[in-house]
Structures are given as C-alpha cells and as structure tokens.
Amino acid sequence: MHELSLCQSIIDTIEAEARKQHFSRVRSVRLEIGALAGVDPEALRFGWEVVNAGTPAEGAALDIIGLPGAAWCFECQDTVEVEQYYDPCPHCQSHKLQVTGGQQLKIKELDVE
C-alpha cells in the first residue's frame, strides 16, 4: 500500500510549510488526484488517519478532487479523456495515444490557523 508513504510525504510537506508559514494547525487538506496517478482514494483516506496523529494536520479533513486522465490521440489529432492507461481512444478506438494529464497528486489547498 504505497498510499501510506504518499500520506507521509504530504505530512512532511505540511510540517515544512508550517515552519515556514508559522501556522500551528491544519483544518483541512484539499488534494487533486489524477485518474492515472495510481492512487486508491480510499486507501489514501485510511493512510491519512494513520499518519496525521501528533502532527499539525491531526484531525484535519481530507478533501480529494478527482481529475480525469487525458491523452493525445495521434489518429484523431485531438485530446481525449481516458480512465486508465492503455485505454483506446473513445472516438476512433486507436491505441496510438500519448498521456498528457491525470498523473498528478497535488496539494491544492490547506485551510490553516
């Protein structure tokens, strides 16, 4: 379950920002997670509850915004939405695609005090 290590990295980032920005508590964390990021949101929520104890984010709500995967279709010459790697183009069924988005996991917003 690599989501646990992802949660720890998020906590590490929050703690570094708390030192720089001088805040003591995080009320909520908003994440953007792409469909192609390989992250299970439910496993991430579970990991979040495990790793945030004793940190500025203890008890903070975790808000996950899912973003679609995107790819460039070389046949259609258009950007298309894909749900997972190796999906065919939803328009022409070609597999000649280059992923262009949906691979990210980003801390979008922190609500702090």
For 45-67, what is each residue's pLDDT tens digit?
Answer: 999 999 999 999 999 999 999 99
Using pLDDT thresholds of 50, 70 and 90, give the confidence band for residue 1: low
Average pLDDT, the chain: 96
User: pLDDT at position 60, please?
Assistant: 97
Residue recorded with tokens 């949906």: 102
Class of domain 3-112: alpha beta
- Percentage of the chain beyond pLDDT 70 is 99
> Taking residues 88-96, what's their average pLDDT?
97
**Of the candidates 106, 7, 6, which has an alpha carbon nearest to the alpha carbon of residue 48?**
7
- Percentage of the chain beyond pLDDT 90 is 98
> Can you tell me the distance from the alpha carbon of 2 to that of 23, in angstroms, rounded to the nearest whole number?
28
> Can you tell me the distance from the alpha carbon of 38 to that of 26, in angstroms, rounded to the nearest whole number?
26
pTM assigned to the model: 0.86
> Taking residues 76-105, what's their average pLDDT?
97
